Structure 1
């Protein structure tokens, strides 16, 4: 079962008896992961999304093995493998288009797990395979944090309603509107590369599991496999891309000395698409993630540049850590879940204490934020190398890539994979406080 459109009233009624009433704003990777993991613990989180239907905007995603705990706990491995493809190799090209080197991603990441490409919509289907109630076309318009609850006003069309919950998870993306409603505000800082580009689809080719990138002079071309087709990104400085896809493709072609069939198909896909999606390459970082009853998650906390291919993976990892810590606050005698997603067994009594919740959110931010910002810094560093109009820098990059492998470029990421988060030692403190 995919996302299940559900009225806000029905979701509110289902969560009323939970010991921890959770509102998740945003049904993207971070929000959906959090909601599904909490459902697995017998809770009934309210999930909202501003989209008006069940369509899944977005294109290709590359997922590092940091998502493995999520897929394991959601029993989603089979669904994930059916809908994704392994990214086994990475190819770098010179700024003029010639193949420079091809590295094995499997050799770099084999200690940690698979590196896979998947369409965003297919990942949503994977995460929601057991059924995910969601109220669509719904936004938060007011948020009032009180000592013992959060009063949240939501709007659906012309209708407004008020929810009373214990905690609000703000996961509505890099341009989050809910973030501004959090007590004290959350004005973000960020990196604006000044670049942007188009994301389109190209047909599947005979180089199945090979991702490749061409860091040109004043343009960037990336080709990334997903199951059955290839995602293509072509970008450059905002002033240059303003001329439109056709003119920019012509400019990129003029700067290449070598255009092999795969590169040619990628460029052609950009001009053939009647309505290519344009992505402005900027990121965002919130100065603080939590209050006593609210938490920013995923892109709402730290929105990534796509340069390291890790943003979605970090969002899902953060959701897993957060959900694990929230579940640790629950009474130990938990009811099971029936196959239709309803709670079986006795109803748990009592609410999670406000102090325990506030402490858990503070611990979550203290432990997870450095990991996320390290990954974000890596994406920013790569952007400085990748997005350049300097021919001198382009030549230096080519020379550097002759001796430096992809393993060197993503070394900070592999260090994060080698030292995964351990919510267990954090939840132990919550258990002591809860049982004491």
Structure 2
């Protein structure tokens, strides 16, 4: 089966590795020139990293990650609102492991060996004849495949070409990301400050702690260059000692920091003919529950499973089974992430105070009910 995977992100790389293990030789294209700017911090739940056991990569992954044993929510002034132990989940299903996205990409790449991986390559057009799909690339060349997998992220070109514009969900918040010394923050704890008109999250990894400083995207909050450092320090002043430590490590105005807009997308269709969507291309995730990468890896495992049990003649039926196994589960957890965003990103001080009081009574399972339920559901 001739398979083209568009996008060498977490979902696309996981699918490629699993397919190679099953004897397929997929073609994987990536529009970036290399993996040098592969992203920032992320947490993986066992929902996703279970695939590493089958690929023989789990021990290496675990050794290069930090286990998140605690999750803390603090208020607008840095006072503790709620502390959750991760033990009830980790003892039963496995720990939440925190790493960097480049680490994860590098690990997945190691499983691809001599795969046909092409950088600086993007899709320009797709022509599905019913028997095959002809893909035209940005260098003007064309090739024919039995299946095209769109794993090209939130702003997927494959999704746009085949399914048209799909509805985005905008929080109208965004934030700046930078790194601090991991020894300057609690090492096994994710700490989030749920403020009023501001949010500050700190997420440790082996290579440093990733910081996300978010607020409504208005005024000049999202503007780089002169004045950025001062604006951010003024925006987040008074959130407590831990935030002050992170602000002291904020790079100067000349540094190229990533600004992360908090939006997601949900495609109404995941498959049409011989084209199928995977990961963020099908349903993108807000980072609020730290579940997006895990969902993409789990989806890749299900798609690889269905593809390993079909041939080109009955491919479309296999794709329909993949959608039946995944779409509801993914969209339920995506809805949980949106619900969490409404709790985390509040502008009103009065509403934020009410939120903080209510949060004291939430269990971790109640905070993200669909995600907690997903741990114990078959796929």
TM-score by length of 2: 0.94
> Which of 241, 245, 249 pairs up with 1:269?
249
Matched ranges for 1:70-81 at <5 A? 70-81=51-62
> Which of 79, 87, 97 pairs up with 1:116?
97
Q: CA RMSD in A?
A: 1.6
Per-residue CA shift, 1:377-415, capped at 9, x if unaligned? 001001111111101111112111222233321222110
Q: Measure, in 1, the Cα distance between the counterparts of 2:312 and 2:80.
A: 59
Per-residue CA shift, 1:173-203, capped at 9, x if unaligned? 1011122222xx3321121111111011111
2:35 and 2:102 in contact (8 A); partners too: no
Q: Measure, in 2, the Cα distance between the counterparts of 1:52 and 1:230.
A: 26
Instruction: Structure 2: state its 5+ residue gaps.
Output: none
> Which of 191, 195, 209 pairs up with 2:169?
191
Q: Measure, in 2, the Cα distance between the counterparts of 1:172 and 1:321.
A: 18
Q: CA deviation at 1:107?
A: 2.4
Q: CA deviation at 1:272?
A: 4.2
Per-residue CA shift, 1:64-114, capped at 9, x if unaligned? 110243111211112211221111101111222112232111223421112
SS at 2:110 equivalent: coil
Q: CA deviation at 1:249?
A: 2.4
Q: Per the alignment, do residues 208 and 287 of structure 1 end up closer, same or farther by CA in structure 2, a change over 3 Å counting?
A: same
> Which of 208, 215, 220 pairs up with 1:229?
208
Match of 1:43 in 2: 24
Is 1:407 the equivalent of 2:344? Answer: no
Matched ranges for 1:15-30 at <5 A? 20-30=1-11
Aligned residues: 371
Matched ranges for 1:93-112 at <5 A? 93-112=74-93
2:100 and 2:207 in contact (8 A); partners too: no
The worse-fitting range, judged by mean Cα deviation, of 85-94 and 241-250 is 241-250
1:108 and 1:407 in contact (8 A); partners too: no
Q: Measure, in 2, the Cα distance between the counterparts of 1:56 and 1:75.
A: 26
1:186 and 1:288 in contact (8 A); partners too: no
Match of 2:270 in 1: 289
Match of 1:91 in 2: 72
The worse-fitting range, judged by mean Cα deviation, of 403-412 and 378-387 is 403-412
Q: Measure, in 1, the Cα distance between the counterparts of 2:207 and 2:136.
A: 42
1:270 and 1:276 in contact (8 A); partners too: no
2:175 and 2:222 in contact (8 A); partners too: no
Matched ranges for 1:328-339 at <5 A? 328-329=309-310
The worse-fitting range, judged by mean Cα deviation, of 56-65 and 269-278 is 269-278
Q: Measure, in 1, the Cα distance between the counterparts of 2:300 and 2:312.
A: 22
Matched ranges for 1:310-321 at <5 A? 310-321=291-302
> Which of 202, 211, 233 pairs up with 2:180?
202
Match of 1:238 in 2: 217
Match of 2:158 in 1: 178
Q: Per the alignment, do residues 110 and 252 of structure 1 end up closer, same or farther by CA in structure 2, a change over 3 Å counting?
A: farther
